[in-house]
Structure 1
Amino acid sequence: MSDKNEVKPAAEDSDFVIGRHPAVAALKSDQEINKVFLQEGLKHEAIAQILTLAKKRGLVVQTVPKTKLDRLVSHENHQGVVLAVAAFKYAELDDLFKVAEERDEAPFFLILDSLNDPHNLGSIMRTADAVGAHGIIIPKRHAVGLTSVVAKTSTGAIERVPVVRVTNLVNTVKALKDRGLWIFGTDMNGTDYRRFDATGPVGIIIGNEGKGIAPLLKKSVDEMLTIPMVGEVQSLNASVAASLLMYQAFQSRHPLA
């Protein structure tokens, strides 16, 4: 006899959104959602909001024990909410330019060279949304893609920041330069990032957590930026470095009066 609360594994073309804030963001977006799982016995304002949004969209809502949700998302911190969603969709490069055009702004893109940590990608997406970046470009191979962990870490930004996945970053950077972008990277020897002027069309490359920017890709960079450090630790987490550069870009685009 089957358990009425049985949670079946996701299909290969599906993924999960986990956590309360990401779930609310997904339910308010155009994201295709297959089913809503709620932990039984939870009473919270956010849970009530999720239930209301799910019913408004006519979605199937299933109440299950916490242990079943734990198994479903490999014991990630789900906060009692899991959405089974269609696999996250990637944008096209032209979509990023369209976002910039619709906002009447010079393009501002992030180019992530083979990041492996989904928490880094999610954090970068969150900051990219905060500063108004028009999109993120990642490689198809040897890099983390859009996953449930990325979605949760982004706290909903995954629904607002388009992500393009490309076969070859070097060729993509060349195409971006042909379309008028100036490409900046990070290096120990470069221009102090506080002098970074992002008022024009720009792309910022953030390197891999351990290896930095690949040598061939580094040759495509117009200018290197350095984040000065006076402590003994001479490196920063990829998402922290990206955040500093993005906010310098924000400052140059939105200076104080």
Structure 2
Amino acid sequence: MQENTIIFGIRAIIEAIESGSSINKVYLQKGLRGDLFYQLEKLTKKNKISTSLVPAEKLDRLSKHNNHQGAVAKIAPIEFSDLDTLISTTLESNDTPLFLLLDQVSDVRNFGAIIRTAECTGVNGIIIPKSGSAPVNAETIKTSAGAAFKIPICKVDHIKDAIFHLKSADIKLVSATEKTEDLIFDVNFNQPIGIVMGSEHKGVSSSVLKLSDYKAKLPLLGEIESLNVSVACGAFLYETVRQRSL
């Protein structure tokens, strides 16, 4: 991450401010109106954040012509969490922690959508490998609706390293894969769990599958053989929520 990171989208910037992220400057589109826009203006004044009213063309350039919704911000980089600290602090406060491991999910929009769903379903932390993963950039943050500022994200050298750490803490690993006969409904998610989602093209790697305590798939009733990874991840996370709510 660079010294200054560009993020865009009114809601993403609001979430960044409310989470306590270090905002260096916010650029707002001249003449823009609306409840969310006024909420953002109020927050920048309350937190004494420097703002500039600029034409839409400048925001287009700053956001590289993405859908900025009339607001762009320069922020300090996101700090990644330490895995050992995350596991220990989570176990101290939660008997049934829920972690999410992404085995080389490379599309930023999928990554952003997964972060958003993870935050909504009470995931305690997301673990990604340093190599082969989508970056936490402006588009990821925008797609996450700012959830990237609310959930711990850990980077590890290899996903297998994280798996060994989790297993040593008696956390069971469930890999989402079509290479099994077991359905998602056959797995007991009402225990300490780490859910592993694979890459868009290859799924969960074979070496990770071998280390998993459970392998599970979603029932597919149509002719398409697989779901988008962010959609499949949402199904796994909400099955966990369902079981834990019974």
| TM-score for the superposition, normalised by structure 2 | 0.95
**How far apart in 1 are the matches of 2:75 and 2:105?**
24
Aligned counterpart, 1:28:
18
Q: 1:141, CA displacement in angstroms?
A: 0.7
* Partner amino acid, structure 2, of 1:246: L
Gaps (5+ residues) in structure 2?
none
Mind listing any 5+ residue stretches in structure 1 that lack a counterpart? 1-10
Indicate whether 1:54 and 2:54 are aligned. Answer: no
Q: Partner amino acid for 1:50? A: L
2:31 matched to which residue of 1?
A: 41
**Which residue is equivalent to 2:227?**
236
Whichever residue aligns with residue 218 of structure 2, its letter is I
Output the CA distance in 1 between the equivalents of 2:88 and 2:147. 18
Equivalent of 1:222 in 206, 209, 213: 213
Q: What stretches of structure 1 move > 2 A for 4+ residues in a row?
A: 94-105
Paired residues of 2:9 and 2:69 also in contact (CA < 8 A): yes
| 1:15 alignment counterpart | 5
CA contact (8 A) 2:107 2:134 kept: yes
Deviates more, 1:90-99 or 1:209-218: 90-99
- Shift of residue 22, structure 1, vs aligned partner: 1.0
Q: Quick check: 2:187–2:214 contact (8 Å CA) kept in 1?
A: no
State yes or no: 1:65 paired with 2:52: no
Query: Which of residues 187, 197, 200 in structure 1 aligns to 2:188?
Result: 197
How big is the alpha-carbon RMSD for the aligned residues of Structure 1 and Structure 2?
Answer: 1.5
Equivalent residue for 2:238, pick from 226, 244, 247? 247
CA deviation profile, 1:146-171 (whole Å, cap 9, x unmatched): 11111111112112111001111112
Q: Secondary structure at 1:43's aligned position in 2? A: coil
Q: What is the match of residue 200 of structure 2?
A: 209
Q: Distance in 1 between matches of 2:51 and 2:36?
A: 15
Query: CA–CA distance in 2 between the matches of 1:95 and 1:198?
Result: 23
